[in-house]
Every structure is written in structure tokens, then in C-alpha cells.
Amino acid sequence: EAQVTQNPRYLITVTGKKLTVTCSQNMNHEYMSWYRQDPGLGLRQIYYSMNVEVTDKGDVPEGYKVSRKEKRNFPLILESPSPNQTSLYFCASSHLWGNEQFFGPGTRLTVL
């Protein structure tokens, strides 16, 4: 089944404790992206990747890192999480930039 998977689905952590949210797609898509969703703000793009080893900042990259060592994986790294990073995070992929994106199920992160 074609899908985007994210892990974990739910995470409660404390300020400053490094964490990684994994994202994997099995559709051989070139474009991958991370978003955060906050009430009243819609989805905002954090980082995106056009292909392996090619990543770039979206609108809200501060406090996040990403890597794209393999085509299928695009982990999101929070080196020192803070409470303002409490949010719902989505990973998405598409065959090419500009095509419809397929979204993962979301990761609800709470930083205490």
C-alpha cells in the first residue's frame, strides 16, 4: 500500500531533550516536506527536500533540522525542543514539486 508513515504518532517530552520524528514514504517520491499545524494558523512549511541531499528552509525553520540521506526517509530533528514547538506535525511527499502531496497521519508533539 502506497503510504507515508510517521513515528511516533504521539510524543510528550520535556524542554531541551533532543528528539527525532521519522518520516518514510514507499512511493519513490522526490519531494518531501514537513509542516506544523497550529489552531488558527493552518499548516506552515518547516523544511522541504527536492531530492536526496537537497534540503531547504520553509517559512518556520527555526529550532528544527532535517536530513535526506535516502530518498524514502526525511526525519525531523528537534535538537532542543521548547514549549512553543508543541504542535501537530505532518510529513508529506509528492512525485515532483508542484504535484499533489500525500500526507502522513501526523505526530502530535507536546513539549513541557
Partner 1 sequence: AQKITQTQPGMFVQEKEAVTLDCTYDTSDQSYGLFWYKQPSSGEMIFLIYQGSYDEQNATEGRYSLNFQKARKSANLVISASQLGDSAMYFCAMSRDTGNQFYFGTGTSLTVIP
Interacting residue ranges for partner 1, rule: CB under 8 A? 31, 33, 35, 40-45, 48, 50, 56, 58-59, 88, 90, 92, 97-103, 105-106
User: Minimum distance from CB of 57 to partner 1 (Å)?
Assistant: 9
Considering the complex, state which of residue 45 and residue 110 has its C-beta at the smaller distance from partner 1.
Answer: 45
Considering the complex, state which of residue 42 and residue 69 has its C-beta at the smaller distance from partner 1.
Answer: 42
User: Minimum distance from CB of 74 to partner 1 (Å)?
Assistant: 14
- By the 10 Å C-beta count (0-12 exposed, 13-18 middle, 19+ buried), 91 is classed as buried
For 66, residues 6+ apart whose C-beta sits below 8 A from its C-beta are: 34, 46, 47, 49, 55, 74, 75, 76, 77
